[in-house]
Amino acid sequence: STTEKPILLNNIADAEAFVSGAEVAVIGFFQDPQSPEADLFRLAAGQIAEVPFGLSSSAAVLSHYGASANTVTLFRRVDNDRRDLDMNNRDVDAKKLTRFVRMNELRLVTQYDPVTAIGVMQSSLQFNLLLITDKMSPKHPERMRKFRAAAELYKGKILFILLDSNLKSNERVLSYFQLKKSQLPALAIFHTPDDEHDVLTVDEISIKRVQDFCNPFLE
């Protein structure tokens, strides 16, 4: 896309439409849009193509979101949460800002890796559902389509996570759930406060199968 990033948000209606139009959206609140902090923000925005970035220097917008000047806020729909980063901190550079977004960009289905793991741990949602599968499988796109459709039904209740069994960093998770690669794909549901969990090996994913697995565990 040749769209200029970030998008200027001049009023509350624009800002609300911007936030509600994406699974994950980032707004930089800057009193001075030409400040060094705002330049850093633009630099990071250019490096993260798939996340929409907006910038606002409107006093009404800042007040509406309770944001102080020189703050970057990430909004996410999956758990209706937000994360703030204070850009007045001299330690914050474009790399730290990029990491802040990567760490906190939880989606309807979040791919698990060492960076997103931090955001997953900090989510307000206490239930995680993992699809542990081989991303290279020809069946993967169809599995993901159904898993994602199921995630829509549990928005705000369960965090849906994709765990690629090919990644070496994920081997520990497989052993935690006592799974071998030959048993995959599998669903694993996890309750973070007490580590209670349940595992189901599946041939194929369907919305009904996900519901039949999740609902008794939630109850």
Residue spans per domain, the chain: 7-104, 109-217
What pLDDT, in 10s, does the model give residues 103-129? Answer: 999 999 999 998 899 999 999 999 999
pLDDT for the residue 3: 52
Burial class (CB in 10 A: 0-12, 13-18, 19+), 102: middle
What pLDDT, in 10s, does the model give residues 148-166? Answer: 999 999 999 999 999 999 9
Residue 2 pLDDT class (50, 70, 90 cuts): very low
> Quick check: helix, strand or coil at residue 55?
strand
Q: Compute the average pLDDT of residues 27-55.
A: 94
In CATH, the number for domain 109-217 is 3.40.30.10
Q: Could you give the percent of the chain with pLDDT greater than 90? A: 89
What pLDDT, in 10s, does the model give residues 61-110? Answer: 999 999 999 999 999 999 899 999 999 988 899 999 999 999 999 999 99
CA–CA gap between residue 181 and residue 70 (Å, rounded): 47
Q: How far is CA 69 from CA 30, 59, 73, in A?
A: 5, 9, 11
| Fold equal for 7-104 and 109-217 | yes
| Confidence check: pLDDT of 1 > 60 | no
Side by side, the strands of the sheet bearing 109-111 are 109-111, 158-164, 127-133, 186-191, 196-201
CATH 3.40.30.10 fits 7-104, yes or no: yes
What pLDDT, in 10s, does the model give residues 170-183? Answer: 999 999 999 999 99
Phi, psi of 109 (to 5 degrees): -125, 115
| Confidence check: pLDDT of 142 > 50 | yes
pLDDT for the residue 4: 66
CA–CA gap between residue 161 and residue 98 (Å, rounded): 21
